[in-house]
Amino acid sequence: MASSQDTEITLGTGKLLVLFFGLVGLCALFFALGYSLGRKSEPAISTASAATTPQTVPGTNKASSGTSTAAPMTFYKSVEQKDASAELTPPADAKTETPAATTPAQTAPAGGPDPTTTLPTGGYFVQVAAVSKQEDANSLVEALKKKEYPAFVAASVSTDKLFRVQLGPYSEVKEAEGMRARLIADGYSPILKK
C-alpha cells in the first residue's frame, strides 16, 4: 500500500495582506464598473420605454411613457423645477375623471399666505411626502398646485417635526385611491391616510 502525504501551505502575514488587499481592489473595480454602467444606462432605459409605448399629451409635442416605470427624476429634482415639464404632467386619461370625483378635491384648502392648515377630523387623505424642512414642503406644494393638485401642508403633530404634504379630504376611499393612482402615474410615491 502506498501512503499518501498531505502538504501544508503556510502563508505569512505579508502574503495574507497582499491577498486581502488584492481582493478588495478587485471588488472595488467591479463595483465602480457596475456603477458607471448603471449611471450611463439610466437615460437610455427611460427613452427606450418611452419609445415602446408613446402617448402624446395634449398641448405638447412630446411623447410620454404610459408605463409605471421609475422616472429618472427624484423627489428633490422635481421640487427644484420651476416649471412643469411634459414628464411630470398627468397623462390624458387621468384628466377624464368624473366631476363628482373631483368635487371634494376642489373644496380642499386653497392655501393662503401660510400653507399650514388644520386638518378636518373625517375623511381620507393622500399623503405625498413628509419632510423635515418647511421650505421643502412649501416648494412641493407649489409644484403640485402648478399641476392642478389640491395640495396643502398639514399641521404638525406634536410628537414629531415633520411637515406632511397632503391632498384631500375625500369622503370615499375610491376617490382617494383615484388621486393616489394619478400621483403614482406622475412619479410620486403617495400613501393613503384616514
pLDDT tens track for 77-88: 555 555 545 555
Comparison of pLDDT for 154 and 63, the residue scoring more: 154
Confidence of residue 107 (pLDDT cuts 50, 70, 90): very low
Residues 85, 41: one domain?
no
Instruction: Give me the mean pLDDT over the 22-35 stretch.
Output: 96
**Strand spans (E) along the chain:** 54-56, 63-65, 116-117, 124-131, 151-154, 163-170, 191-193
Whole-structure pTM value = 0.40
Residues 104, 44: one domain?
no
Q: Is pLDDT of 28 > 70?
A: yes
Which range of residues forms the domain containing residue 85? Answer: 73-193
Query: Would residue 3 count as lying in a domain?
Result: no
